[in-house]
Amino acid sequence: MSNPLVLIVMGSDSDLPTMEEAAKILTDFGVPFEMRISSAHRSPKRTAQLAAEAADRGVKLIIAAAGMAAHLAGVIAAETTLPVIGVPMGGGALSGIDALYAMVQMPGGIPVATMAIGKAGAKNAGLFAVQILALQHPDFAAKFVAYRDKMAAEVEQKDAALQAAKAH
């Protein structure tokens, strides 16, 4: 994308099915984004360059997804002053707990907003990105309110269906 507001970086193409959840949210809200693959360990110079150049390209925040040692979000946060949202990937010997700990235990001074492990975390990363962007984009704010209202209406509909089924 030519003018992305969000950069999604994942450590491996195996993370793509999970990170498509974040991409879907951004697409639904009309947020321009770009997805890239770069590894903190296998391509550290490329990763540092992506992070360092993001702000100059108009990116406002970065979503970083990785599993296992999960240093990607922290490496990116160290190379930029943009907000970084981390998404730990499931799998590996510890089912993603290692990735969660690696992201959430960043040293003071290099913050990474860390989401849940896996698809729920990727979805929430997209939503959190929209919330951050909504601070300066009223159209995203309005869409976010509508999204929340729709969720509430769906819960009410499901409860009404449950109550109607119990009445029989």
For residue 147 the two structure tokens come to: 């999204």
Which residue ranges make up the annotated binding site?
A: 12, 15, 42
Beta bridge partners of 35: 8
Backbone φ and ψ for 58, nearest 5 degrees, come out as: 95, 0
Where do the DSSP E strands lie in 102-163? Answer: 113-114
Task: Give, in order, the Cα–Cα distances in Å from 122 to each of 35, 146, 150, 160, 168.
Answer: 13, 20, 20, 30, 40
- CA-based end-to-end distance of the chain: 53
Which residue ranges make up the annotated binding site for substrate?
A: 12, 15, 42
CA distance 61 to 22: 13
For residue 57 the two structure tokens come to: 């390209």
The DSSP 8-state label assigned to residue 31 in this structure reads -
Query: Are 89 and 67 within 8 A, CB to CB?
Result: yes
